[in-house]
Amino acid sequence: MTLYREKLWASAWLYLAMALVIPASLLVFLPINITAGIVVAVVLYGGCVAILMLASPTILVTDEAFVAGRATLPLRFVGTATPFREPEATLERGRNLDARAWLLIRGWVGPVVKIDNTDPEDPTPYWLVSSRKPDDLVRALSQHTQVA
């Protein structure tokens, strides 16, 4: 059963920034052929949008595991989860960051959640994950630890 699910979509400003590929491709292809320039501009922008959408990771908490992107941490090894917002989130992503930590950080998502890893065999002390709803993620993770 899924307790929490969040897709880290790119922010709207990033889609707008990708729109700069349209005038760039028009600048290159319009002198050759107007139709080709327009088609290439639309296809390139569509490709950029598709890449942004396909590359957006999912954060998932199920009955058995915490999944962040392609990595999975069994819930039995999930320790304390702590949400951070600006400016504390900036410190967690920077000066307070342990080089051994596992990261799923997106620059367009400000808050982060620090999840302690209690697996004695794993050298990773904690996971640091971007989340637009850090309190909901912490709540979903703590519900499991109360049940277990």
Confirm if 68 and 59 have CB atoms less than 8 A apart: yes
Segment 66-78 mean pLDDT: 95
Count of alpha carbons within 13 angstroms of residue 121, beta-carbon side: 3
Count of alpha carbons within 13 angstroms of residue 89, beta-carbon side: 19
Residues for the chain: how many in total?
A: 148
* Own/partner long-range contacts of 19-27 (Cβ < 8 Å, ≥24 apart): 19/45, 21/45, 21/48
Round to whole Å and give the CA distance between 116 and 77: 8
Average pLDDT, the chain: 93
Statement: residue 76 has pLDDT above 80: yes
Residue 56: pLDDT band (50, 70, 90) is very high
Residue 146: pLDDT band (50, 70, 90) is low
CB atoms within 10 A of CB 117: 19
pLDDT at residue 1, rounded to an integer:
87
Statement: residue 148 has pLDDT above 60: no
pLDDT at residue 143, rounded to an integer:
83
Residue 145: pLDDT band (50, 70, 90) is low
CB neighbour list of residue 104: distance below 8 Å, 6 or more residues apart: 8, 57, 59, 68, 69, 71, 127, 128, 129, 130
Segment 38-64 mean pLDDT: 95
pLDDT at residue 77, rounded to an integer:
95
pLDDT at residue 133, rounded to an integer:
96
Segment 133-142 mean pLDDT: 95
